[in-house]
Amino acid sequence: MIKLVLMYRKGIILLTAYCIVLSVLSADPPGWTEDRRLVFLPGGGLDPRADAWGDTVHLVWKQEYGHIEVYYKRSTDHGETWSDDMRLSVEDEIRSIMPDIAVKGDTVVVVWFEQQTGLLEYRRSIDGGMSWLQIDTLECPFSLTFPSVDFVKDTVYLTMGGYTGNYPVCFTKSTDGGATWDTVRQIYNDHFQQPRISVSWPDVHIVFTADDPDSGNTEVFYIGSHDGGRTWDEAMIISHRDGIAGQIPFNTSWPGGTAVSWYDYKYSPYPWTGDIFVRRRNKFGQWSEIDSITTAHRADWSDILAERTHLHVVWRDERHLPGYNTEIYYRESPDLGTTWYPEVRLTNAPYHSRTPSLACGGNYLHLFWADQRDNGNGGPSAIYYKRKDLSVTTPEDYQERPFGITISPNPSYGRVNIAFRLSEIPASVKIYDQLGRQLVNKEISRLGDHQIIWQTGRAGVYFIRLKTKTETITQKVVVLR
């Protein structure tokens, strides 16, 4: 286990990696825009899902207005202005629900479930969402539901569940951007709830909840492929096997790793609300300890997203007026889940804010949710939006964030990523070998987030030192042949 030595003005603090959680509530979310209503259609907007490519953000959601249909809109200027609402599903008596979206360049793929027919339908755009090809149906000998989609390189990866029989977890992919699809395969044959997929090629990660074969209790499961979905590992339980159900997992991934968030009632004295849990897997297949990242035991329904070396988690929280008012809360980790910044309340409005969803593109983190502030809890909800500028950090934000450095991967095979955030300058990064010889000396004169890629062809033990006028931290990295 790696120990990081952080030197502060008032002393030295030893932080042990795996679960370092700072639990100070921040009332003012630095760097976030104001809440903004995006959808003014008749009826209610629910279940937003989004993806981004550069400065273009794509949003889908379910709109209930007598009919229940899937709608779409986009922004080409990182959320400043938005297109008109566009209906993607056919307006009929069949409920079009559970939309999800994935984007690569100008290709956009949207999938959803037709409830009465049991069909999984999809629609594509090849011009960035300006126009859409005809609706198509995914062919399968049984009904499919709960679609989740990701897009990496030129391949679209899709997981879903069977709607009949044993309700298996299923998988398929398209190597031509969604034009044609491989045969749907069952990769876990037991009763499931809501599978989610995330891809960092060639690794494909799927999480879902299902009953533990030994105890019958509901737990969070993980199943992975390391060859783009051709073969799959055996499914494993990643939540605590304690008889208390893990609920509604979401996942994200980065080169060599993945992280999962879910909610669980185990620490909560309240019915129907609990805490958000996070667990990470590295490139060697090793899972971290399970972190509980909430403090009030009033949380459920999260989303998680990785960008650069950061993890972002949002969730619905009921701490302010239980039963009548839920708000969206947020936590950020600068080192892919080893340490966490304080909880931040992102919404502050009457009535329920729920089902938050994250997307990231360019220098912005985008948040969407369904909100009932305009019509009360008995009325329809609307889709709301806000964003965070990831390139700007306020001085107040710096004061709350720990001084630290993230080395990945560790051990390494020659390419080392060094990530850190500076709240004071000047600073320097120096690298030494085990004999104390200095190999690298980089001076830094800019505040904010930094990333250095160090490439070495020699195996051995090295020491990376980050130093400012008031603080110094040294971390060891092992390079293998």
Angle in degrees, CA 12, 16, 21, rounded to 5:
95
Omega before residue 202 within 30° of 0, cis:
yes
**Rounded distance between C-alpha atoms, residue 214 and residue 200, angstroms:** 31
- Torsion angle of the four alpha carbons 388, 358, 71, 173, in this order, in degrees rounded to the nearest 10: 140
**Could you count the other beta carbons within 10 Å of the beta carbon of residue 104?**
18
Distances (CA, A) of 193 to 12, 90, 206, 211, 384: 46, 26, 12, 9, 26
Same fold, 36-397 and 405-479: no
* Predicted TM-score (pTM) of this structure: 0.78
Distances (CA, A) of 254 to 49, 152, 198, 245: 20, 11, 9, 27
Segments in the chain below pLDDT 70: 1-29, 164-166, 393-403, 481
**Could you count the other beta carbons within 10 Å of the beta carbon of residue 307?**
17
Q: What is the pLDDT of residue 403?
A: 66
Q: What is the pLDDT of residue 202?
A: 93
Characterize 178-205 residue by residue with b for buried, 16 or more Cβ atoms within 10 angstroms of its Cβ, and e for exposed: beebeebeebbeebbbbbbbbbbeebbb
Phi, psi of 396, rounded to the nearest 5 degrees: -65, -35
Q: What is the pLDDT of residue 455?
A: 83
Nearest partner of 454 among 420, 384, 385, 407, judged by Cα: 407
Angle in degrees, CA 385, 391, 393, rounded to 5:
90
Q: What is the pLDDT of residue 399?
A: 45
- CATH: 1.10.260.40, 3.90.1200.10, 2.120.10.10, 3.40.50.970. Which one for 36-397? 2.120.10.10
Q: Residue ranges of the domains in the chain?
A: 36-397, 405-479
Token output for 475: 């971390």
- CATH superfamily of domain region 405-479: Immunoglobulins (2.60.40.10)
Which residue has tokens 């002393």?
11
The DSSP 8-state label assigned to residue 212 in this structure reads -
For the range 199-202, what are the long-range contacts, defined as Cβ-Cβ under 8 Å and sequence gap of 24 or more? 199/150, 199/152, 199/157, 199/253, 200/152, 200/253, 200/254, 200/255, 200/256, 200/257, 200/258, 201/152, 201/153, 201/155, 201/228, 202/226, 202/227, 202/228
**Could you count the other beta carbons within 10 Å of the beta carbon of residue 147?**
23
Half-sphere exposure of 392 (CA within 13 A, CB side): 10
